[in-house]
Amino acid sequence: MAAGRHRGHGVVEGLVCTDPTVVVWQDGERERWLSRAAALDHGREQPDWGTAATGADRLADLTAPQVSWLIAKGPDAPARALIQKPSLLKHRPRG
């Protein structure tokens, strides 16, 4: 193997992060998000999006428009719960 090349992610046996996961808005950040929410007033929101957000286990369970809506305009508690979960992207090979 050439120098500087890695075979994959390193794993340290028994290493566990015990810090709680938190979402913290920086000063003015939430207000900037809310000010941009007007750009999402495109009429695509559906009455069941709140239910979809509260029932989702991860952000990947929602569509891209639902994720944008959730972060900018949706209910705060479900948004925080979904954002704090790690997301892994799975790629399908092109065939």
In this prediction, residue 4 has a pLDDT band, given cuts at 50, 70 and 90, of low
pLDDT at 41 over 90: no
Half-sphere CA count of 26, side-chain side, radius 13 A: 3
Higher-confidence position of 29 and 34: 29
Question: What pLDDT is recorded for position 31?
Answer: 83
pLDDT at 58 over 90: no
The total of other beta-carbon atoms located within 10 Å of residue 17's CB is 6
Domain boundaries of the chain, sorted by first residue: 25-35+48-86
Task: Give the C-alpha separation, 45 to 80, whole Å.
Answer: 20
pTM, whole model, 2 decimals? 0.48
